[in-house]
Structure 1
Amino acid sequence: MEHQSSIPRINPRRPYVIAASGLKRIVLGQETGSRELHHGGHAAAAKPLRSARPATAAILVLLHSERGGLDEHARQTIAAATLLADADTAVVVAVLGGCAEPLGALGADVGVQLPQLGGAGYLVEARLAQALALVEQYRPRHILLPERDADADLGRRLAARSGASIATDVVELTRETACRIVPGARFARCALPRIILLARHAADARLPYVGRGEDAAAPVAEAALERGLRDLGLEGSDPDQVALEEADFILSGGNGMRDMAGFAALAQALGAATGASRVAVDDGRFARARQIGATGKTVQASVYMALGISGAVQHLQGIKDCRHVIAVNLDQSAPIVKRANLTLVEDSGALMQALLQLVRAAQAAKSA
């Protein structure tokens, strides 16, 4: 006769919620529900609103988008603004270039889209004029921008034009102080300035709450004169002359990629910088400077295409900040498949030749 235990037991595979602390919590008495799904088919609680109180103040975030999206650095900057904001302060996010994804999910209470100021055009005066108009409209307590390229340039110009206090390369924030690293690996602290240029990883973009996500029209800015400057456009250069840490598109080869001529041709056609796994470097196919991973370079490309790379832990550590990872591998259970946004189970050589033909055909059609 089977013994029946009187001790109640909980099914460890039943639906659970993720608490604000990030920990998994099984909800007693609930086997199913209408909650949204979490990873692996489990249910996750909808995130609460950060604040529903009417805003009497604002914090302004200025960002440039990339191809209609925001990278991790931009998301971290929005998150930092929400951490500085109290219940009566709205987080206003203005995206130069426009953004297709909902800003409320990233913590924004108000989103302002500026698609006309995106791209690579030299529009520094027009962007500055629009930033000044936003400052005039919202009167923000603080203005946050990522410490990088066009965003950092805009922040410095805004400080110079308005006479506002500014802190650059900020690695740590409180509601009273900003902290940055100065030469000699020392920390310097100051009272929280009006304009803050935030270093990468200064805040965690994963928030336990959401913003209101209201859309707002951009204020009308004064006509900006580019002071006699003429935009001559961009000139292409050899992608391999760009440091891997700064490359936006990386084509990377591993042990399963042996067609070096096809690899070089595809990289040139795509305008991609080239990287490699440690195995491909060790056997002499790539220079040591091309190695990506914990013992090589850590990259943060918008697109990282891995050809014949299985994905050792060290390599995955080196690409953890990449926005989109495409894996080409014959082994569909390779570790890199779990990290990839798109996996193609195919021979890398055959795929390179097919992709090269498509790219060349598209280029020929464009130039015709």
Structure 2
Amino acid sequence: MNDIKRIDPRRPFIITADGLKRITLGEIGNGVVLNFMHGGHKEALKPRRTTKPATRSLLVAAHTDRGALDDHARQALAAAALLADDQTEVVLIAFGEFKDDAAALGADRYIALPAFDRRNYAPDEEVRALTACVAAFTPAHIFMPDNATGDGDLGRRYAARADASIATQVVELDAAHVASCAHAGRALASRALPDIVLLATNSVDAKLPFVGAGEAVNAEGIVPASKASAYVDLGVEEMDAAQVALEEADFIVSAGNGVSDIAAFETLAGTLGAAIGASRVAVDDGKFTRDKQIGATGKTVEASVYIAFGISGAVQHLQGIKDCRHVIAVNLDASAPIAKRANLTIVADTQETIKALTDAAAAARAARASGASIVETAHVAEGVAA
């Protein structure tokens, strides 16, 4: 007889500030979001960086992805906030829809420009919008992430148009200077803090000990109306997710030893448009090829969404997904190691969950294609889940 004690996932629980479920002992959980520091003590609210009137500003410009800033953009915003003194405000220009908490990210004021999308190519319009924002706020310096998804290109275009000084791929900075790698990374090239700073990834820690004011600013009257562009946007050519390298995939569904119906799992991946990964155990069993293995002995991935089906979460696998933004685990064992890493854990049968998700996703796509309302789509998905 198995006498190992298991935690009942249906017991009362609380949700931590990181979005993790914690079973409560000896009290009734009500789903309230609580903040914790290491050691279980309640974390004090972060102070405002400054409450003094601003006499100068630092500007941060970045594209959003589905309404949020990615880690690289958050690092650029943190860099500006850390360099700002108590009479300097940090202004964020978000190209795209913006749903993040600007104050928590360190911004004192922000402008959202939902007309722009990183999937649409409109370089002239973006430069005009950035130029207008610079004229409105007259920042001492501009900070942007130096990436290949629009921000790096925008920063270089603006610098050329405005005849501004610029430093790219910055890995070190303070209030007086910046530095970039030189001679294949064997040396650093330094210069005085330029007008535009394009930061390399992971050059700044995005976690801040303070918050900003987070005040929204209406773009009307600042950003000019759009003009006809000299560029023709042919759109984004969709690629089969199965052909995308796991290291570059933004959405991954991964199978472990708990997945028995591989065909159903692959059908779900195709329906969701996700790349396929696997645990070492599933690969060793011959269910997947070695190039699908994720973990310390396989591939390290940085997906925005990673769904693990039937994966217990050995330490080697957790090392491979440490940089994933949102991890969802589907497992019958609520105490599996992967549940500690997951942002959301679904305690349910893997095969039943795969079928329910496949049916719900297919129904939602069919409803969208036929022009059905969101309410009708939600009712279909609800019926499938039930």
Common fold by TM > 0.5: yes
Tell me the residue number matched to 1:63. Answer: 62
Is residue 2:169 matched to residue 1:175? no
Aligned in 2, Cα 1:169/1:285: closer, same or farther, shift over 3 Å? farther
Single out whichever of 325-334 and 70-79 deviates more from structure 2.
Answer: 70-79
Q: How many Å separate the matches in 2 of 1:161 and 1:337?
A: 50
Which runs of no fewer than 5 residues in structure 1 stay unpaired? 1-35
Please tell me whether residue 273 in structure 1 is matched to residue 296 in structure 2. no
Taking the aligned partners of 1:101 and 1:82, their CA distance within structure 2 comes to 16
1:124 is matched with 123
When the two chains are superposed, the root-mean-square deviation of aligned CA atoms in Å is 2.0
Question: What is aligned with 1:38?
Answer: 36
Runs (4+) off by over 6 Å: none
1:317 and 2:319 equivalent? yes
Q: 1:76 to 1:290 in 2, by over 3 A?
A: same
Take 1:113 and 1:269, find their aligned partners in 2: how far apart are those partners?
Answer: 32
Partner of 2:107 in structure 1? 108
Distance 2:296 2:181 in 1: 23
SS of residue paired to 2:150: helix
d(CA) in 1 for partners of 2:260 and 2:185? 42
Name the residue aligned to 2:195.
194
Alignment of 1:80-99 (within 5 A): 80-99=79-98
Distance in 1 of aligned mates of 2:187 and 2:311:
39
CA distance in 1 between partners of 2:145 and 2:100 (Å): 19
Tell me the CA shift for residue 92 of structure 1: 0.6
Query: Following the alignment from structure 2 to structure 1, what is the Cα–Cα distance between the partners of residues 90 and 340?
Result: 34
User: Equivalent residue for 1:346?
Assistant: 348
Aligned partners of 2:73, 2:292: CA distance in 1, in Å?
A: 27
User: Larger deviation: 82-91 or 237-246?
Assistant: 237-246
In structure 2, the CA distance between the partners of 1:362 and 1:125, relative to structure 1 (3 Å rule), is same
Query: Could you list the runs of 5+ residues in structure 2 that have no partner in the other structure?
Result: 1-33, 371-386
- Distance of 1:164 and 1:227 partners within structure 2: 24
Is 1:266–1:352's contact at 8 Å kept on the other side of the alignment?
yes
Distance 1:254 1:101 in 2: 33
Residue in structure 2 matching 1:332, options 330, 334, 339: 334
Relative to structure 1, the CA distance from residue 287 to residue 225 in structure 2 (aligned partners, 3 Å threshold; closer, same or farther) is: farther
Aligned length: 333
- Contact 1:129-1:223 at 8 Å conserved across structures: no
Q: State whether residues 80 and 203 of structure 1, in contact with CA within 8 Å, keep that contact through their aligned partners in structure 2.
A: yes
Q: What is the Cα deviation at residue 183 of structure 1?
A: 5.3
Distance 2:287 2:70 in 1: 32
Contact 2:125–2:229 (8 Å) recurs in 1: no
1:150 matched to 2:150: yes
| CA pair 186-343 structure 1, distance change in 2 beyond 3 A | same
The match for 2:256 is 254
> Which secondary structure state, in structure 2, belongs to the residue aligned with residue 113 of structure 1?
strand
Q: Report the 3-state secondary structure (helix = DSSP H, G, I; strand = E; otherwise coil) of the residue aligned with 1:111.
A: strand
Contact 1:60 1:92 in 2 (8 A): yes
Q: Matched residue of 1:116: which SS?
A: coil
For 1:298 and 1:163, how far apart are their aligned partners in 2? 40
Structure 1 letter corresponding to 2:36: H
C-alpha displacement of 1:360 = 1.4
Instruction: Please state whether the residue corresponding to 1:185 is helix, strand or coil.
Output: coil
Go from structure 1 to structure 2 and tell me whether the alpha carbon gap of 1:88 and 1:189 turns closer, same or farther (over 3 Å shift). farther
- Superposition TM-score, scaled by structure 2 size: 0.81
